[in-house]
């Protein structure tokens, strides 16, 4: 499925889309946003994973490893970790939603409610986890 506005070959009546100039914009509403967020969160987690393999690889060079990991304690990278947690939680929960729909086809009827639950739990988990991650910085107890 391409969300690019390049497909002008199909008959417009068959696409639940809006015509903007010569192209068509797909409007799938909640299911489409769930899909877009799934791709973005997955890509971000994958990009972080590649970086993370490199930084953990520094254990061979203890001094470099400790210097790089000391950076993770600063506030910018703590907020980055909160973002990582949000992406992980969303991708996990929406992944469950996808598995439900794939293996129990009737679950598609409640896909919208499941999407709202996914968003709600992601927000709740990120808020709780985010507090735990940022709190040591705010209270000055950096765990050292």
Partner 1 sequence: MATPLDLDRTTGTALPRRSHQNFETWSWLFMRASGLILIFLALLHFTVTHLVTDVARTNIDFVGRRWQNSLWRLFDWLLLTLALAHGLNGVRWSVDDYVRNPTLRTAVKGTLYTVTAALFLYGTLTIVTF
Q: Is 105 in the site for partner 1 (CB under 8 A)?
A: no
Task: Give backbone dihedrals phi and psi of 136, rounded to 5 degrees, phi first.
Answer: -60, -30
CA distance 78 to 82: 6
Contacting residue, 10, 16, 57, 120, with partner 1 by CB under 8 A: 57
* C-alpha distances in Å from residue 77, one per residue of 27, 69, 109, 140: 36, 10, 40, 16
Return the residue of 34, 88, 114, 118 that touches partner 1, per CB under 8 A: 88
Which two structure tokens, joined as six digits, stand for 58?
């520094």
Q: Is 108 in the site for partner 1 (CB under 8 A)?
A: no
Output the six-digit token pair for 23.
Answer: 């192209």
Contact 101, 108 (CB under 8 A): yes
Q: Which is nearer to partner 1, 17 or 95 (CB)?
A: 95
Does 35 sit near partner 1 (CB under 8 A)?
Answer: no
Find the part of the chain contacting partner 1 (CB under 8 A) among 10-18, 23-31, 71-79, 107-115: 71-79
Output 108 or 132, the one with its CB closest to partner 1.
132
The neighbour count for residue 76, using CB atoms within 10 Å, is 8
Selected range binding partner 1 among 8-16, 18-26, 109-117, 125-133, rule: CB under 8 A: 125-133
């Amino acid at each position: 499925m391409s969300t690019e506005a390049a497909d002008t070959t199909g008959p417009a009546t068959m696409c639940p889309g809006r015509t903007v100039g010569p192209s068509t914009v797909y409007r799938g509403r909640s299911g489409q946003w769930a899909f877009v967020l799934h791709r973005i969160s997955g890509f971000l987690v994958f990009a972080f994973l590649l970086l993370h393999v490199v930084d953990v690889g520094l254990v061979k060079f203890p001094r470099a490893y400790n210097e790089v990991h000391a950076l993770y304690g600063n506030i910018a990278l703590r907020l980055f970790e909160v973002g990582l947690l949000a992406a992980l939680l969303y991708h996990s929960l929406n992944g469950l939603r996808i598995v439900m729909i794939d293996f129990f086809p009737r679950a598609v009827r409640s896909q919208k409610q499941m999407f709202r639950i996914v968003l709600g739990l992601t927000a709740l988990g990120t808020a709780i986890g985010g507090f735990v991650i940022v709190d040591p910085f705010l209270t000055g107890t950096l765990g050292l």
